[in-house]
Amino acid sequence: MTTTSAQASLGGARRPPRPARSLARRRATERVVNTVLLAAAAVSVLTTFGIVLVLVFETFEFFRVVPFFDFVLGTEWAPLFEPKHFGVLPLVGGTLLVAGIAGLIAMPLGLVIAIYLAEYAGVRTRSIVKPFLEVLAGIPTVVFGYFALTFVTPNLLQPLIPGTDVFNAAAAGIVVGLMVLPLVATISEDAMAAVPRSLREGAFALGATDLEVAVRVVVPAALSGIAASFILAISRAIGETMAVAIAAGSTPVLTLDPTRSIQTMTGYIAQVSLGDTPQQSLEFRTIFAVGMTLFVMTLALNVVSQLFVRRFRNVYQ
Amino acid sequence: MVSAMRAPEPVAERVSDPAKLERVFELRGLSAWYGAAQALRNITFDIPKNRVTAIIGPSGCGKSTLIRCLDRMNDLIPGFRAEGHVTYHDEDIYGPAADPVLLRRHIGMVFQKPNPFPKSVFDNVAFGPRINGYTGNMHEVVEGSLRRAVLWDEVKDKLGASGLALSGGQQQRLCIARALAVEPDVLLMDEPCSALDPIATYRIEELITDLARDYSIVIVTHNMQQASRVSDLTAFLLAGEERTGELVEFGPTRDLFTRPADERTEAYITGRFG
């Protein structure tokens, strides 16, 4: 094989090389390659369709028994006990409470970290801080859950606010906030790093201080990226499961009190799908209805983030 | 007194002997480095008040480095270092007590590429006064600055529009208006027309001549015709093989262009190199 190809290339120096294979074979190969690549791409599309189809079908079956408005507007969630109630609001409320607390932690802190890294930190500081952010992003979520349950609640929250439940929304929200913090910090920092140096120079030339340049020029110019990082972080916080399943509790109550035990949508789904609820039962179908609600919420957030990016994108020449 | 005269005087009458003019900057043995690479060596000359001083020379001769030393903009570049003395109104701007932020509030700068902020036309001009804590009538300041930059008539109906929506020439005049809004006494211009078409360039040059009545202007340009059109004094810089810029000649623009003292100046202005 090697000898023939060597001879062929030697011969090719003098006269045009003969095609190694016929045109028909080459076309056949291209068709096969094309099909394989298409199939690979199709996997992702089909998976998405499959999941959405199952969700829609099971949700539809669920709503044949439970009236839609009882589900969407109901304030009591007790699908597993008599008398049954299918009001999803306590789960939505629990999710939003945890995501809100997470946002309160991750957004300001992440933005400050991003400003520091993009505008203040020297090369060496950056090279130390950034890997730590990546390590934080790589910690398994189950570890965050136990961190909330065994450290945040007993050592921080309970001494500070006596009467805090063992399982509570605050601890879950705090660790989810820490979990999505690297997301906010890195995406925001990327957005700020993309702001042209000429804008900073323009502001410095007017006698602006480092802080004025960062807050009045760089942050507004990077607003679309920063907003996108916020929305992505909230979206991830809403979908986060393991930490909240461990730390937030499993008491679906509609409350704004973060010291109480609550249940989130993801926590409920995890609880039921791991439990012994018989499949095909109405109780089991609740997790598809809740999953559908979750899906609609995160989809809406992603759409909003796209709109935001488009609305605020500044075109630099 | 200078501003009272509406028509600019002929250059020869305005500048006969630069040594007799009141000075804004005095450069004494200024050298500059980016890391290990020396960009300027031993630059000494004076920049006079209410005149246009041009800095010319071929690419890479340190013109931009030099003008950026005057408002310490090079401080923003990691590894930059300056030696020697630059005084602004008799105060050493590289001295231990110097405050670059305060300095830049007196010295406006216009850059090679127009760099309006991604904000409205109004907010672009109001930026400087706002960070300076100006509490008076902002609309007056904005209108006055835009009028000085001869941009008012073109933008008065779209003050809320983004500065980035203007044409290149308008953007550069917006940047000039932005610099004027903090009432600087010096305006540094680093190749302000290099990104503009000939008509926009002509308008900026007109504006420079007009502003020279009230401001001390330093302009870097690679365009010798531009230097001869707008400036009263010219400094010619040249770098050798090692790309370290040195001052070859400094004097009244007309003298430098008609009877250069140094043969390298003559070679450059007659187009034999550069």
Q: Taking CB atoms and an 8 Å cutoff, what residues of chain B touch A316?
A: 118, 164
Mutate to test the interface with A, among B104, B115, B123 (most CBs of A within 10 A): B115
Residue with the larger pLDDT of the pair B262 and A310: B262
Where is the domain boundary, B137, B154, B184?
Answer: B184
Question: What confidence tier does A8 reach under pLDDT thresholds 50, 70, 90?
Answer: very low
Contact B73 A315 (CB under 8 A): no
- The minimum CA-CA distance between B121 and chain A, rounded to whole Å, is 14
Q: At what angle do helices A223-239 and A89-115 cross, to 10 degrees?
A: 140
| Same domain assignment for residues B64 and B191 | yes
The three-state (H, E, C) secondary structure of B25-84, written as one string:
EEEEEEEEEECCEEEEEEEEEEEECCCEEEEECCCCCCHHHHHHHHCCHHHHCCCEEEEE
What count of other Cβ atoms lies within 10 Å of the Cβ of residue A171? 34
Where is the domain boundary, B163, B184, B205?
Answer: B184
Question: For residues B217 and A122, what is the distance between their CA atoms, to the nearest angstrom?
Answer: 34
Contact A204 B76 (CB under 8 A): yes
Contact B73 A314 (CB under 8 A): no
Question: Residue B199 corresponds to which tokens in the numbers above?
Answer: 């008509």
Contact A205 B119 (CB under 8 A): no
Q: Taking CB atoms and an 8 Å cutoff, what residues of chain A touch B108?
A: 205-206
pLDDT of residue A11: 46
Domain contains B137: yes
| Same domain assignment for residues B145 and B273 | no
| Same domain assignment for residues B37 and B50 | yes
Question: For residues A84 and A67, what is the distance between their CA atoms, to the nearest angstrom?
Answer: 13
Domain span at residue B125 reads 116-184
| Same domain assignment for residues B144 and B57 | no
pLDDT of residue B243: 87
| Same domain assignment for residues B101 and B223 | yes
Domain contains B43: yes
Domain contains B101: yes
Q: Answer whether A121 touches B (CB < 8 Å).
A: no
| Same domain assignment for residues B127 and B68 | no
Q: What is the DSSP string of B117-140?
A: -SSBHHHHHHHHHHHTT--S-HHH
Which chain B residue has the Cα nearest residue A197?
B115
Reported as type and span, the H/E element at residue A34 is helix A23-65
Cβ-contact B46, B23 below 8 angstroms: yes
Which chain B residue has the Cα nearest residue A221?
B118
Q: Answer whether B127 touches A (CB < 8 Å).
A: yes
- The total of structural domains in chain B comes to 2
Question: For residues A293 and A202, what is the distance between their CA atoms, to the nearest angstrom?
Answer: 48
What is the ipTM, given to two decimal places?
0.89
Question: For residues B214 and A140, what is the distance between their CA atoms, to the nearest angstrom?
Answer: 65
Question: Residue A280 corresponds to which tokens in the numbers above?
Answer: 């095909």
Domain contains B16: no
Domain contains B267: yes
* pTM: predicted TM-score of the whole model, two decimal places: 0.81
Q: Which of B142, B121, B120 is nearest to B130 (CA)?
A: B142
Q: Answer whether B163 touches A (CB < 8 Å).
A: no
Domain contains B1: no
Question: For residues B253 and B231, what is the distance between their CA atoms, to the nearest angstrom?
Answer: 6
Residue B32 belongs to a domain with what CATH number? 3.40.50.300
Domain contains B142: yes
Q: Answer whether A206 touches B (CB < 8 Å).
A: yes
Cβ-contact A94, A172 below 8 angstroms: no
E strands in chain A = 77-78, 85-86
Contact B115 A216 (CB under 8 A): no
Question: What confidence tier does B158 reach under pLDDT thresholds 50, 70, 90?
Answer: very high
Q: Answer whether B133 touches A (CB < 8 Å).
A: no
The stretch A266-286 carries a mean pLDDT of: 88
pLDDT of residue A316: 52
Question: Residue A267 corresponds to which tokens in the numbers above?
Answer: 């926590």
Q: Taking CB atoms and an 8 Å cutoff, what residues of chain A touch B111?
A: 198, 201-202, 205
Contact B131 A200 (CB under 8 A): no
Question: What phi and psi values does residue B92 have, to the nearest 5 degrees?
Answer: -70, 115
pLDDT of residue A88: 93
How do residues B61-101 score in pLDDT, each as one tens digit? Answer: 999 999 999 999 999 898 999 999 999 999 999 988 899 99
Mutate to test the interface with B, among A197, A206, A218 (most CBs of B within 10 A): A206
Reported as type and span, the H/E element at residue B237 is strand B233-239
Cα–chain center distance at A228: 11
What count of other Cβ atoms lies within 10 Å of the Cβ of residue A15? 7
Question: Residue A96 corresponds to which tokens in the numbers above?
Answer: 């939003």
Reported as type and span, the H/E element at residue A246 is helix A242-247
| Same domain assignment for residues B86 and B157 | no
| Same domain assignment for residues B203 and B147 | no
Give the C-alpha distances (Å, rounded to integers) separating B28 from A23, A142, A272, B188, B240: 76, 66, 80, 19, 21
Question: What phi and psi values does residue B237 have, to the nearest 5 degrees?
Answer: -110, 150
How do residues B221-232 score in pLDDT, each as one tens digit? Answer: 988 889 999 999
| Same domain assignment for residues B172 and B221 | no
Strand partners, B251: B234
| Same domain assignment for residues B239 and B200 | yes
Question: What confidence tier does A200 reach under pLDDT thresholds 50, 70, 90?
Answer: very high
Q: Taking CB atoms and an 8 Å cutoff, what residues of chain A touch B134?
A: none
Question: Residue B223 corresponds to which tokens in the numbers above?
Answer: 């365009």
Contact A208 B71 (CB under 8 A): no
| Same domain assignment for residues B29 and B147 | no
Of B76, B115, B118, the CB nearest to A314: B118
Q: Taking CB atoms and an 8 Å cutoff, what residues of chain A touch B131?
A: 206-209, 212, 216
Contact B76 A201 (CB under 8 A): yes
| Same domain assignment for residues B239 and B201 | yes
Contact A196 B115 (CB under 8 A): yes
- The minimum CA-CA distance between B28 and chain A, rounded to whole Å, is 23
Cβ-contact A264, A168 below 8 angstroms: no
How do residues A15-42 score in pLDDT, each as one tens digit? Answer: 666 666 688 888 999 999 999 999 999 9
Question: For residues B187 and B107, what is the distance between their CA atoms, to the nearest angstrom?
Answer: 6
**How many Cβ contacts (< 8 angstroms) between chains A and B?**
74
Question: For residues A75 and A88, what is the distance between their CA atoms, to the nearest angstrom?
Answer: 7
Q: Answer whether A124 touches B (CB < 8 Å).
A: no
Domain contains B122: yes
Where is the domain boundary, B137, B161, B184?
Answer: B184
Cβ-contact A100, A111 below 8 angstroms: no
Question: Residue A259 corresponds to which tokens in the numbers above?
Answer: 């010291």
| In chain B, % of residues over pLDDT 70 | 92
